[in-house]
Amino acid sequence: MKLNPRNDKIVVKEEKQEEKVGNVLLPGTANSKNYNIGTVMACSESHYKNGHLVPSQVKVGEKILYMKYASNCYRDESTLTVIIREDDVLAVVED
């Protein structure tokens, strides 16, 4: 199934994150950080903001850092997909 986001929404494939505390490896659900990392799977080219048409600040394929509790989750088979607003993107991650 292909998701086509509307307005300022972004479809993101969430990456699994694990946190290590001492010698204990915590699963992603026990992650105490307030952000997640994922890859942009789909986004609109532009959207209206305050009555003006503005281009999207992210592109498909970019890895982004976004606010953890700002997403709506969608699970398709084994993939966790989240839909977030563009304003909830904190940064683009460059390797």
Q: Which pLDDT score, from 0 to 100, does residue 26 have?
A: 56
Distances (CA, A) of 55 to 18, 45, 49, 58, 80: 34, 6, 10, 9, 26
pTM (2 decimals)?
0.77
Strand, helix or coil for residue 43: strand
Q: Which pLDDT score, from 0 to 100, does residue 23 have?
A: 61
Q: Which pLDDT score, from 0 to 100, does residue 31 have?
A: 53
Q: Spell out the domains of the chain, with CATH numbers in brackets.
A: 9-93 (2.30.33.40)
Residues of the chain with pLDDT under 50: 30
Read off φ and ψ for residue 10, nearest 5 degrees.
Answer: -130, 135
Q: Measure the CA–CA gap between 20 and 94, rounded to whole angstroms.
A: 23
Other beta carbons less than 10 A from residue 12's beta carbon: 28
